[in-house]
Amino acid sequence: MADHRFDAVVVGAGAAGLFCAAQAGQRGLRVLLVDHAAKVAEKIRISGGGRCNFTNRDASPAQFLSGNPHFCRSALARYGAADFIALVQRHGIAFHEKHKGQLFCDHSAEDIIAMLLRECEAGGVTRWQPCRVHEVQPADGGWTVATERGGVAAPSVVVATGGLPVPKIGATDFGLRLASRLGHRLVEPRPALVPLTFDAAAWAPFVPMAGIALPVAISTDLPARRGSVRTTFHEDLLFTHRGLSGPAVLQISSFWRPGQAIEVDLAPGHDVAAELARAKARSRRQLGNELATWLPGRLADAWLALHGPAADTAMPQLPDAALRALAGGLQAWTLQPTGTEGWRKAEVMAGGVDTRDLSSQTLESRLHAGLHFIGEVVDVTGWLGGYNFQWAWSSAHACAEALAERHAAREASMADA
């Protein structure tokens, strides 16, 4: 016998869970939001350097990875970036566009958390936190949820437990384990938007470059049915003591798989071979100084020390073949990472609950009526730049609409009876 009854239980008080609970509550449902963590929405709090990159003006299905790239279309079409921006504006939160459509709070990520909590209050949402969920089970045409505060019965349960990144703030695999136990297929989870690492001995010559940052074009090739598909990003790259980071590397990491190579153009927008040839004909400068026209000086010197020719060689003395080889290496630097910095440094999880087992319109399980999965726990992963938060808002909104429709149908059925 359940101690408590609600119309819906949302497990996970992160971005997706808070927004879904608020939207469902404002549509007339009695909603319980439960989370094991003491602090609400800790991942929002630490995101974007504490200012929360809460969406991207340009969000579209093109910026998402999934086993089914079309799965996110319905939710994004029905609740897009403009809709969430309008909500932020209604709450009087000041924000700015930082880069390529990325929107950040002017003040603090706390503004978004406070907004979501106010939205939950407007919907009369009951929040239990901290409260651990022990089990979720189908029962009597609905669901029972066993928690530290007693048993709960509800026609619908929403799993919004997020992914595995940043375990120090309480990330767990609860949602994945629950989905698997109830028969759902999983796409193997892996760290995404994460720095890449290299063999320590092979990377040793680059360790002194740690801290150097520069704009690059970075690419990798993914196997496809016919050959391969190249993915390229134009962003900043950062050298670290263990490998590479920065927006360029975080972006490509979501597409990279163990054993694959990545290719980096260290001077995008330049024809280095042609420019070096012109410099040879017109300049008596040393090669190191000429190369520093396109690269940070420390990187130019280190690159020449590793690959040659000598940095102090005068341009007219350099063979054409040597200049062509130098240009080719700079604009098609091929590396093979050995791994990533893992869940500790990953911003999101790729993989998750297989979309083949979910409805794209309602985020409801195709295996169990009344069970929904939203947000990061689903196999939908956005690019860096606010896209993953937009998926949280869009999937939560689609789910809340479905919960409201099911609730209305149930109420009408009871009235007829």
64-114 confidence digits (pLDDT tens): 999 999 999 999 999 999 999 999 999 999 999 998 999 999 999 999 999
Average pLDDT score over the chain = 95
Burial 228-254 (b: 16+ CB within 10 A, else e): eeebebebebbbbebbbbbbbbbbbbb
Residues 317-320: contacts with CB within 8 Å, 24+ apart?
Answer: 318/280, 318/287, 320/277, 320/280
CA torsion, ordered 134, 137, 143, 145, to nearest 10 deg: -10
Closest CA to 290 of 185, 28, 277: 277
Report d(CA 358, CA 367) in Å as an integer.
8
Rg (CA), the chain: 25
The two tokens of residue 103 are: 């929107």
pLDDT at residue 225 is higher than 80: no
pLDDT at residue 387 is higher than 70: yes
Confidence of residue 1 (pLDDT cuts 50, 70, 90): low
High-pLDDT (> 70) share of the chain, %: 99
Residue for token digits 């990875």? Answer: 65
Q: What is the pLDDT of residue 170?
A: 86
Cα–Cα distances in Å, from 61 out to 83, 223, 250?
A: 16, 21, 19
| CA angle (70, 196, 243) in 5-degree steps | 155
Report d(CA 235, CA 253) in Å as an integer.
13
Report d(CA 88, CA 19) in Å as an integer.
13
Peptide bond into 309 cis (omega under 30): yes
| CA angle (71, 75, 77) in 5-degree steps | 105
Confidence of residue 308 (pLDDT cuts 50, 70, 90): confident
Cα–Cα distances in Å, from 329 out to 156, 159, 265, 308, 332?
A: 57, 48, 9, 11, 5
Confidence of residue 222 (pLDDT cuts 50, 70, 90): confident
Q: SS in 3 state form for 42-57?
A: HHHHHHHHHCCEEEEC
CB 237 within 8 A of CB 264: yes
Report d(CA 396, CA 393) in Å as an integer.
5
Q: Give 409's contacts (C-beta < 8 A, 6+ positions apart).
A: none
Q: What is the pLDDT of residue 344?
A: 94
8-64 confidence digits (pLDDT tens): 999 999 999 999 999 999 999 999 999 999 999 999 999 999 999 999 999 999 999
Q: What is the pLDDT of residue 317?
A: 96
Cα–Cα distances in Å, from 94 out to 13, 56, 117?
A: 24, 15, 17
CB 222 within 8 A of CB 231: yes
